[in-house]
Structure 1
């Protein structure tokens, strides 16, 4: 496809841009249809849809990257497929076969190939798969029908002026309940985070840290991202809890820390009153890969890690290695990359 788009790749933010095609598939009478690409970016559903009233919906986020030699590759889409199915099971929605999910993503990238930013711009093509409960319904029960769709938008680098550490504050609010939906990617978790986020930003912080809902003593998530810390004895540590969303970026970083940087990796409880065990800290997720944490405010006191102005050396190494893998500059572990042909 030789179409061109008039976009300033260097000035893209993380915002919606209508692209040419999106993939749509419907589930009805116990099965998914074949799915197809459509041009219309409007979704028309019944006013009784469970997605509107009872929050029966989930989503994913992943990216396509252009390599130095012009190829396009997806980063670990099989992991997004698995996580989406985990969300679907939790909300009693039909699962998407993994091949169907990956095929839908590939179709969308190919159809919007001219929106994949060039190598070297720091930009990428963000994909947003989602599943919603639709159809005429009134009672609190699973929907009679479902819609699975994937759309895409070109997005800029998360850090405009280069990677900079930011500060976070600990929230009194809970992101999720102990046995709730914190471990799956459903909209309600994000709706609940809007108010605490706004309060944190008003006080000059990037976002807030959520503690475990049962005891409020352990770090769970950083805004909509996972936390990690580097200890004085060079261990990569990240919290473990059933109410943390399993970040694909986090598990990728754990692998890189162990296999590429030769570090010890621990997934365990991280107590908020023991921050001094870490010399560096960060938040990780699809959008930014890593957001370095300068400091965390807890009970009126700001605990600073490596620096509030400079990124720590291990954090920098982890970031550079993962981005190099995503862009095809570094050999990827088996199965991490799916080339869009």
Structure 2
């Protein structure tokens, strides 16, 4: 198996064409048998509902090479379940958990030469998605759908030592009350491009969104979930129906309690009560954890543990989770699917 000429230690996070991707078509009321193809272009109708009305959703997940040479998928059943919820919210046919996991495994196996070696901190990023296609122009659910999974090798944003970033509170809303905030749909991310760009132009890593109803509670950090840790060692993740239920977020809640002995809760995080927290961070598939050095709000930067180093509990959570993903630490039951 010829290895691609890549600098495994410095991959970054960008598109790279790999050998194969999985495609399944939904026609006549059911998903057709999926297949692998080398063609990285989709051929769809100009009237596809995904193009005009945003009828689409996606997932993000990773495959990891372990020290013994085996390959780990991290909680793929949870990604499958979240995609099913997203599909239902947008009136699209759901992909079964069995088909979802099988598709992911096929893609990893077919592109194994792109799976970064153990110890590089890099991984193989998987992007499953469902889009509404077929000839259509009215505002209605599409007559046909495509389920696809492709992959790219990506680097580690942090390698062992976490570097905090500063964020600024946005005046924009990420999602509407009772809208699609809890679904992983493209429209949520398109709406975040402008506020995110404005935050970076102002010298921050990204923006933080407050709840759309009252603008008093923290909800999300850019395209990631937020968490904070109180001075009495309670791990808090914002409670809201418009927060995306992240797989990393759910995993950290469980690990904070079971492995670190913290109290872990989903609760309101009020922007005017930042002084209650000694550490804070953003979490998601891409970065795992990004420590938050400070949050800029009302012309003032509130600093948590430090602008220069991660807090000790944040670092421990990062080490625990990445150790599980890479097979170096025993995982809770059902968290790892071997390819």
SS of equivalent to 1:332: coil
Q: Structure 1 regions of 5+ residues with no counterpart?
A: none
- TM-superposed CA distance for 1:66, in Å, is 0.3
TM-score by length of 1: 0.99
1:81 aligned residue = 80
SS of equivalent to 1:142: coil
1:253 aligned residue = 252
User: For each residue in 1:98-118, what CA deviation from the matched residue of structure 2 results, as whole angstroms up to 9, or x when unmatched?
Assistant: 000000000000000111000
User: For each residue in 1:195-236, what CA deviation from the matched residue of structure 2 results, as whole angstroms up to 9, or x when unmatched?
Assistant: 000000000000000000000000000001111111000110
1:301 aligned residue = 300
User: For each residue in 1:255-291, what CA deviation from the matched residue of structure 2 results, as whole angstroms up to 9, or x when unmatched?
Assistant: 1100001110110111000000000000000000000
Matches within 5 A, 1:1-341: 2-159=1-158, 162-340=161-339
- TM-superposed CA distance for 1:11, in Å, is 1.5
Displacement over 3 Å in runs of 4+:
none
User: For each residue in 1:64-120, what CA deviation from the matched residue of structure 2 results, as whole angstroms up to 9, or x when unmatched?
Assistant: 000011111100000000000000000000000100000000000000011100000
Q: Structure 2 regions of 5+ residues with no counterpart?
A: none
2:115–2:153 CA contact under 8 A, matched in 1? yes
TM-score by length of 2: 0.99
2:121–2:159 CA contact under 8 A, matched in 1? no
2:160–2:319 CA contact under 8 A, matched in 1? no
User: For each residue in 1:290-310, what CA deviation from the matched residue of structure 2 results, as whole angstroms up to 9, or x when unmatched?
Assistant: 000000011111100000001
- RMSD between superposed Cα atoms in Å: 0.8
Q: 1: distance between equivalents of 2:99 and 2:204?
A: 40
User: For each residue in 1:172-205, what CA deviation from the matched residue of structure 2 results, as whole angstroms up to 9, or x when unmatched?
Assistant: 0000001100000000000000000000000000
- TM-superposed CA distance for 1:162, in Å, is 3.9
Instruction: Give the aligned length.
Output: 339
